[in-house]
Amino acid sequence: MSDLFPHDLQLQILKRLPLNSLLKFRTVSKSWNSLITSNHFISSHLQSITHNNPQSLFIRYFDRTRKIEQYITAKDDQTFGIHFSNIDFQHASKTAYFRIVGCCNGVVCLSDDLFDSMCMVVLWNPSIRKSVRVLVPDYQQNCVWPRFTVLGFGVCPVTHDPKVVKIVFVNAFSVPDQITVEDPPLVEVFSVNSGGWGKPFGQNRNRPCNKINITWSQVCFNGAIHWVAYDRRIEASGRCIIVSFDLVHEVFDEMPLPDALASQDIGNLAMSSRKGQLTMLEYDMEKGKEACGVWVMKEYGVPGSWEEMYVIRLPGMLRRVVGFRTNGDMVLALKNHELVYVECTGNVKSLGIYANIRSFFVGSYMESLILINQLDQ
């Protein structure tokens, strides 16, 4: 067949096939294997999947009864909550469960860390059963002040290269008020395509200011990683901002927040995305009044376009927002350890999953060929 049809026609046919068929077709001929594993085809297939296939959700939780991590996917359509597909994950955490840094273009980034001590990150594509172990350099030794480490994860929208960003900065709460620390954060980027960590960002590279502390709350959106952060350059108590990292040009940037969010306690905010818009969650966890406001940036990159869309109020029940469905429905963890979703009508529906609240993760998911050329580790 590969000799009967023009190369371009083969490409158009193959990129519309299910991923399982593509994996089988790799064995048909060397030319098809070369085509399917090429960067150009991986990109074309990803775009085809994004536009033509229904979205799925990737869900992780820690089963407290069986003491194991559970990874499942669910079609994000009218059958959501009825049918789940289990996924086997061959790596075991040194602690109870991995921290999921993020999920992007079918690749999940998991960090095996405990109290800021980390040594390994796993990049995992469940759809092709490929994973890459990444050893994380440790810079805690010989440091005058305790350091705090934050990771970020995303896939470059141009090269489809998965990248892990590591930011190490002095823990501001461990430094006496009379001491001024001038050292900027240490920044390194791991790239799958390069096979290792790049050189630490030097003086000539754009880095976050040393008076900005970045939290783990993040989302990969519009080709950049976005973290919630607090800025102590003007006010000692700090004001909340967003720090972003462009995955194409590998540069940092800052986004101001409206006063209603900027003046919040950093622990009350969390990054997300909803229906194609950058989203900020604003919690009010006063006992008996538990609620969460959903703010969206109506026009990306325009600070004045932030708008509070709605507030979900579940007094005595709400613990945290875990994610959003494609239609905008909110997926929540309740105080009774139950995972539920709230329809736009306000109806709360159970997913029948009970687990450790901190272990819940929900992210949009698609099949992709990213990591297909990597040796499974």
Tell me the per-residue pLDDT of 74-87, one tens digit each, with 9 for 90 and over: 999 989 989 999 99
Q: Are 367 and 49 in contact (CB under 8 A)?
A: yes
Does residue 262 or residue 375 have the better pLDDT? 262
Sheet holding 107-114, edge to edge: 99-104, 107-114, 117-125, 130-135
What confidence tier does 266 reach under pLDDT thresholds 50, 70, 90? very high
Q: How far apart are CA 11 and CA 35, in angstroms?
A: 8
Q: How far apart are CA 148 and CA 154, in angstroms?
A: 21
Count Cβ neighbours within 10 Å for each residue of 167-184 and write b for 16 or more, e otherwise: bbbbebeeeeeeeeeeeb
Does residue 342 or residue 171 have the better pLDDT? 342
Q: Give mean pLDDT, residues 277-302.
A: 96
**pLDDT of the residue at 374:** 87
Residue 12: DSSP 8-state: H
> Within 10 Å of residue 364's Cβ, how many Cβ atoms?
18
Q: Give mean pLDDT, residues 58-80.
A: 93
Q: How far apart are CA 246 and CA 176, in angstroms?
A: 34
Q: Which two tokens stand for residue 36?
A: 């399917």
Q: State how beta strands 186-191 and 162-170 pair.
A: antiparallel
Which residues are registered as beta bridge partners of 124?
108, 131
Q: How far apart are CA 282 and CA 299, in angstroms?
A: 19
> Which residue in the block uniquely carries the two structure tokens 């092709």?
128
What confidence tier does 45 reach under pLDDT thresholds 50, 70, 90? confident
CA separation, residue 120 to residues 50, 136, 193 (Å): 30, 5, 18
Q: For 30, phi and psi rounded to 5 degrees?
A: -65, -35
Q: Which two tokens stand for residue 41?
A: 């085809």
Q: Is 314 left (phi over 0), alpha (psi -120 to 50) or beta?
A: beta
Residue 40: which H helix or E strand, with range? helix 39-52
Q: How far apart are CA 119 and CA 162, in angstroms?
A: 19
**DSSP calls for 274-326:** ETTEEEEEEEE--TT--EEEEEEESSTT-GGGEEEEEEEE-TTTEEEEEEE-T
pLDDT tens-digit readout, 91-138: 988 888 999 999 999 999 999 886 556 678 999 999 999 999 999 887
CA geometry: angle 268, 100, 346, nearest 5 deg: 50
**pLDDT of the residue at 178:** 45
Q: Establish how many alpha carbons lie within 13 A of residue 104's alpha carbon, considering only the half-sphere containing its beta carbon.
A: 28
Does residue 198 or residue 184 have the better pLDDT? 198
Q: Which two tokens stand for residue 221?
A: 């959106």
Look at residue 181 and tell me whether its pLDDT is greater than 60: no
Q: How far apart are CA 87 and CA 155, in angstroms?
A: 22
What confidence tier does 312 reach under pLDDT thresholds 50, 70, 90? very high
Give the start-to-end residue ranges of the domains of the chain. Answer: 1-53, 143-159+171-316
Q: How far apart are CA 256 and CA 303, in angstroms?
A: 6
pLDDT tens-digit readout, 137-171: 876 555 555 678 899 999 999 999 999 999 988 76
What confidence tier does 344 reach under pLDDT thresholds 50, 70, 90? confident
> Within 10 Å of residue 296's Cβ, how many Cβ atoms?
20
CA separation, residue 352 to residues 172, 257, 323 (Å): 41, 36, 16
Q: How far apart are CA 141 and CA 42, in angstroms?
A: 41
Q: How far is CA 224 from the centre of its chain?
A: 11
**pLDDT of the residue at 203:** 72
